[in-house]
Amino acid sequence: MCDARLGRRRRRAAQAQLTEYPRRARVVPEMTTLGIIGAGHIGSEVARAAVAHGYDVVIANSRGPETLSDLVAELGPRARAATAAEAGAAGEVVVVTVPLHALTQVPVEPLAGKIVLDTNNYYFERDGHIEALDKGETTTSQMLQEHLPTSKVAKAFNHIRSADITADGTPAGTENRRALATSSDFDDAAAFVRSFYDELGFDTVNIGPLSESWRVERDRPAYVVRQNAEELVENLAKAHRLP
């Protein structure tokens, strides 16, 4: 099949997914606490956004809870610092936002049965070369899913600049509303991301299974550019697997 026909099919499929799920306030109504493992730029901004929308946040980094006192003071009474295992246990949903080379340090048991949002991108300059990624045989989110076999991993927040997470959100129905992508092997995990994105002010395009999540990673057309849902669909279709 020629690239043009393949691109048209993918655009039609992605466009259909834009209306597949009705907007709901929260897919996980019982969720009151978001666990965040990784307190870098993305983790900190997701924490700010979550607190602003009424969630409690338990956040961890690799250096210990005491090093997060300034961030927790800024976030206020809805936030506390903890170890990675404690953050994973406390959150009904957990964000994993650690460098790829630290993926195996993410605790497994506290995340069992939970939706886990993966923000990772592969930077060989930081992570070292990983042959399976270099050859396009897997994705970073598939690697996290393999590490967390009893969790439900979904790609999220990996193709937006961290500061834009709290700056670019707009109400549902806003013209030219910014869109973000998600990907998961579990429908309820993708649906949660859709709901959470909407709450934070973004439309969603569901790429499909984690094996397709490479389309929104580094050096692809959809990576860290502002785009509405239609433009995101177009950029996903333009993506090529290997350089």
CATH number of domain containing 63: 3.40.50.720
> Could you give the number of structural domains in the chain?
1
User: Quick one: pLDDT at residue 192?
Assistant: 96
Q: Give the closest residue to 7 by CA, choosing from 237, 241, 198, 203.
A: 237
User: Quick one: pLDDT at residue 2?
Assistant: 40
Residue 168, domain member (yes or no) = yes
For the record, the structure tokens of 140 come out as: 């970073």
pLDDT single digits (tens) 25-41: 444 546 899 999 999 99
Residue 73, domain member (yes or no) = yes
DSSP string computed for 195-233: HHHHHHT-EEEE--SGGGGGGGSTTSTTTT---BHHHHH
Indicate whether this model's pTM tops 0.85: yes
Instruction: Please determine, for residue 106, whether its predicted confidence score (pLDDT) is greater than 60.
Output: yes
Structural domain span for residue 72: 3-238
Residue 157, domain member (yes or no) = yes
Residue 145, domain member (yes or no) = yes
Residue 43: alpha-carbon gap to chain centroid: 10
pLDDT single digits (tens) 127-144: 899 999 999 999 999 999
**Given pLDDT bands bounded at 50, 70 and 90, which one contains residue 16?**
very low
Report whether 180 contacts 157 (CB < 8 A).
yes
Residue 243, domain member (yes or no) = no
Residue 81, domain member (yes or no) = yes
